[in-house]
Structure 1
Amino acid sequence: MSSASPFAPSPNEKLNLTSSIKLQDGTSQPRFGIGAWDMRGNECYTALRHAFEKVGYRSVDTARYYRNEEQVGRAIRDTIKQTSIERKDIYATTKLFTNDMGGGERSKSAYQDSLSKSGLDYWDLVLLHAPDGGKEYRLNTWKTLSEFVKSGQIRSLGISNFGAHHIEELMSSEVGKAIKPVVNQIECHPFFAQKEVRKASEKHGIVVQAYCPLARGRYYGDKTLVDVAKRNDKSEAQIMLRWLIQHGIIPLPKSSNEKRQLENAQSLEFTLSDEDMKLLDSLDRGKRGAVESQTMSQDAP
């Protein structure tokens, strides 16, 4: 299993949905999660109940921008009430959107609203959704959210869509040194491999999470991807997800489809050869391969 990432699983490690990565603040996060982007109302609630209770997912990713924190929280709470699954077993992530950032009362109220909507006692991880707004905007937000970490209402802090220069800025700041980011959530898949940002993240002990890990299906049918899938008797989606896993990246595929939830999770159950990994590495198109406009926030000053 070829990967330079310190977070990659060992070659013979048996993985499942409870397998986790130790983060630099001492907490742990599952190696695989489900994204809640673009899931609304009962669709979101029902999909997550199925993911938690029938498939075995133990990590969910949402955001204030997604407008479904209430349904995510309710799905977690009802799963806990009606099964043997405990709150500590489910890793719940949300993000503070750019118009809630800036620190002070604005960011404090936004987070309290997120917590209230979810009905949870804490979020396991809260991310700055994007670095837009400038240095002070970012660092002041980090300072405000750090207070919630100290009070136990947030377990860990992280970042999203941060470029290498944003990471260096945070890590060299007093607030970043006091409470370090544990993850950087970025768009990442074989066609937009994000090598520079991944390297900058891992240099500081920051685990990379991947949103749009399937590139919204844009590259299905690519000859190399199809060939690798056929050779391994797997779907193209499973191959893209497994590529991430073997690079020590946490995939967060969104799906409200019960069959695809299971199919996605099964990417934990096989291993790609070094040769296949190199073939997939060769698919990187740089920024031309990106499918989400928000990812360009990495270039923000």
Structure 2
Amino acid sequence: MNAMSNAEVIDHEFNRLREKLPLWLQENRRFCRDGKVASYIPELSKASGNHLGIHIIDASGRSLSAGDCGVAFTMQSISKVFTLLLALMDRGEEAVFDKVGMEPTGDQFNSMLKLELVQPSIPFNPMINAGAIVISSLINGSGPAEKSERTLQFFRLLAGNNKLDFDNDVYRTESASADLNRSMAYFLKDKGVLACPVDEVLEVYFKHCSINATCSDLARMALVLASGGRDPVTGAALIPRRYVQIAKTFMITCGMYNASGQFAIQVGLPAKSGVAGGILTLVPGKYGIGVFGPALNPKGNSSAGVRLLETLSKEMNWSLF
């Protein structure tokens, strides 16, 4: 009996996903009740904790969806992956990593503990709030409006969706309730890590966190990373491969907050979560995946979304490890 060709293997895997994905989503929807919708940003508390959706797109453009995948949500911390990439493209590795480190913290994403305890006082990595605030200051532009517009256009390019936009209600409530993030920013300004005025940097940061997306937008952005930085439709290089490598490494080590090690063991894929309930993940060379489930576990990750990705990884043998 002849072995299947690579194309036949890919088709077989995709067909299994088509058959099983709705079932796997329904099996994991029960974990929504284990989580709570984020409320510290008031606008996020309006989401339904029962939502769970997923969209998967492969390198040929075929896609699959299940559940509440058409519901829009703000990217929140998922945006940190792509602002890091934009800052690297604007400034280069040396300038970026002079201001932010490369190590996991083991702390909550909004902790400023190690900023005070460890010298020099630079954030440990770009995936925590302090690090993402610094990264926001490194995006080129004459002021916060131009920096935010450049960020939005970059996200639109990667998502293949010119309708991506800011959710101004989320932006306003996030800005109004962000005392801890302001504290971090002023601390970083005092230590000379931030060169820009605090309010200008935070405007850029809150704006990119408030960009609305759906599971399909996340999946398309993830597919660019899965494809080594190339547009999956045209093949054009959108991001240097080296910078994609850096971003995917941060996703593995820091992308799921202080549950990143557990996620690496249970799922084994590069991923980044956000407190609105989104998870962006990818299977290198194969798939971009977007998940949405706003009920969060105690670590700030989608409770049912993480469980669904565990099921997919185990059933499809996707773990990189």
TM over 0.5: no
Work out which structure has the larger RCO, using CA pairs closer than 8 Å and 6 or more positions apart in sequence. Answer: 2
